[in-house]
Structure 1
Amino acid sequence: MLSGQSFMMFVVLLCTCAFAFLNGFRDASNSIAVAVRNRALTPTYAVLVAAFFTFVGTMASTSFGVYLVSAVELGVPDGIPGLALLLSGLLAGGAWGLFCWWRGLPISSTHALIAALAGASGASALLGNDGVHDAWRMLAGGVLLPLLFTPLFAFAASWVLVIPVTWLVRHSTASDVNGVSRAGQAVAACAVALGNGLQDGQRTGAMLTLALVTAGAAQPGAIMLGPQLLGAGCLAAGVLFGGWRIAHTLAYRLVNIDPLRGMVAQTVSAAMLFFGAMLIHLPISTTQAVTSSIVGAGTNQRFESVTWQQVNKVLRNWLATPLVCALLGGILYLAMHPLVS
């Protein structure tokens, strides 16, 4: 018969797998939305290649030291109190992600999870218990800094890069430009999926490992192959099902974008994800990188192509995500505390 701690561990593992599936389900749109709209990829082929490269990126992510949710970084209390913290964060972040998907709004799953964990840690401290070690530093470095840096850089880089690219093709015919751009966009979409695996995939494996370490079923250390493989499978499975509500927002509601600018946007997004994973070791939100790049590239046109009302709506939800998830995480932990104390 399972002990209370073992049962709690399995619940946390199950919720982590569900969160990973939801993450892939929502983030599938980031790599394929504009590529499908511009007919660079068919919907079926798009989700297949996106799932494949997400899986590959997740398995390759163990080679890179991305700043992530890990057993070493978090310092979660051992036993049931620590598992309750993890469960509160997963449920709060997952609920907000599901709500935003239903409304067709792209938000960062990573930011939602980290903020929810920070909120649960704050609630634990309020009760006089141990929480996540350095939770507020984690919130600042894992959410607030990327939230400021990613959209601004992605928008500016895409807007600027459109200038030399359009200059290079100024003597080409529209059909030639569109044909080459669609091919480039297909490659860039695969690169974004690979970058998404490098970023989000590693955090999924780390959460699974962290649940095992917190429950005493594994020793702290490097991410193990088993949890990483399970996380990669859940993330890729979510991509296969594809969250088309968000894809519709990215492809049709935010900006009217041609294949050339779509290629530029996807290239900038992929470069940022690789840069964050391999060089600066910072969690870059795939959602924010792709969305901001699309808007940035689409803005650099002779005619007004951006629906700023929709863009502002997305921005408001990005800003609301840390606040809402921290609050939800804290409330869930307070509600759960009498049951696990």
Structure 2
Amino acid sequence: MISVVLAVYNSEQFIGEAIQSILNQTLADFELIIINDGSTDRSEDVILSFKDPRIRYFKQENKGVAGAKNAGLKQAKGEYITIHDSDDISLPNRFERMLKGLESSDIGFVHSDMLLMTEKGKPFGYWQSNNIFPEDIYPFFLSIGTPFNNPTIIFKREAINGILHDEQVKVGSDTDLVLQIAREWKSHHIPEPLYLYRRHQTNVTNNKDPEVLTRHVRKNLRDEDLKWIPEADWDSGEGNALFTAKLIAGVALSRRGMLDDAIYMFRDAIPMINSQSDRDFYEGMKALVEKDYHRSVKMFCKAEEKDHILENYLGEAYLALKKYDEAFSHFIKALSIHPNYNEPVQNIRAIGIIKGQNTIDRRVNRYK
């Protein structure tokens, strides 16, 4: 059975369509747990108009979106668990298709692509995700955010294992929860828009406070968290892994606009400089943050010891300068040193997309 958690707050305009899309699923073995988080509009009237026995309805004082989702998670009885937004729509075969991706014992959750809709239900965009290995989750999280379309995820109960949303995190609590699970479990991606995500004024955050917007990132910046940066070679005992990880994290944070946190990482790394090569690497990474790519190239090239990490970031400096051939050469060098290093692989992918992306499925070309 699938437990579907639906947190509702003042969603009278869309909640009926969301509920109906769940009740219309071709896979009928589910419970729909609806948490009314203190709505003051007609949401309750709409909810109570549905008489399906699979619906379990709960009403509480307003606790915020994270608190409402947690209330639903605590009620879940199913082998599988998903959190459905109150203004979105699931295609009729979503549950059936998604559960096929959970048949392997080592897969903890499944996710899919999703179509973006306007407030009036008109399509206006497509969000595609991909398969990603657990060891690559944290670096992606640092530099970009969640690698998944979070609302599409269906978890196995054993993967979610009592993990709840952090109710102190007002923005990004879903990403924080997913990060905890994704670092431990493999996932499966279904490249189909099985979930229709509605964008409208009330579900786009108006909070401009950087502290609120990035709290879910900051809580995952401890030294023990940085050990999820695999390229730092924590197990080899060679070099200064924490020094390297702090600089990698600093560059990543700067790229998502968290400059103060990036500066803190770099300052924290200064006492760990043990050699001239460390100093050159530090200055090269610092120049990346400052977007002084010519200086970054100069400092990286100056370093006598060039490991896979330096070769990758030297390639990134060239890539920022649009020197694609030089960048490609250094990404290949990084992989020759460390074949399982994912960053240069993704950078090679970026070069390919810049040069011209093609997909095997050409159906979209029929309608352009």
Higher relative contact order (CA closer than 8 Å, sequence separation 6+): 1
* Structure ranking higher in helix proportion: 1
Using structure 1 for the length normalisation, give the TM-score: 0.23
* Structure ranking higher in strand proportion: 2
Instruction: Please identify the structure whose Cα radius of gyration is greater.
Output: 2
